Amino acid sequence: MEEKFKAMTVNERLYVSGLIDAFDKAAELQDVATVVHILREVELTDTSIKPILEEMNLEGDCVNLS
């Protein structure tokens, strides 16, 4: 992992990467696979992604997280 987003918040990572609009749209559509894909693109681990999905009430949806 490059760690180019180290020490940034999730929102900062999404904004800097240009993925914030795609993330917001995927979240609105409750497209869990796309949300996870985008979060991985900004170098979040599955361990970090899981609580985000829970916060978004998407944790019950079918996603393969480690």
Distance CA 38, CA 6 (A): 16
Question: Where is pLDDT greater, at 6 or 48?
Answer: 48
Higher pLDDT, 63 or 8: 8
Q: Residue 62: what pLDDT?
A: 53
Instruction: Please report which confidence band the pLDDT of residue 58 belongs to, taking 50, 70 and 90 as the band edges.
Output: confident
Q: What mean pLDDT do residues 27-51 have?
A: 94
Higher pLDDT, residue 1 or 47: 47
**Residue 11 tokens, joined:** 């929102």
Q: Structure pTM?
A: 0.86
Residues 36, 49: contact at Cβ < 8 Å?
yes
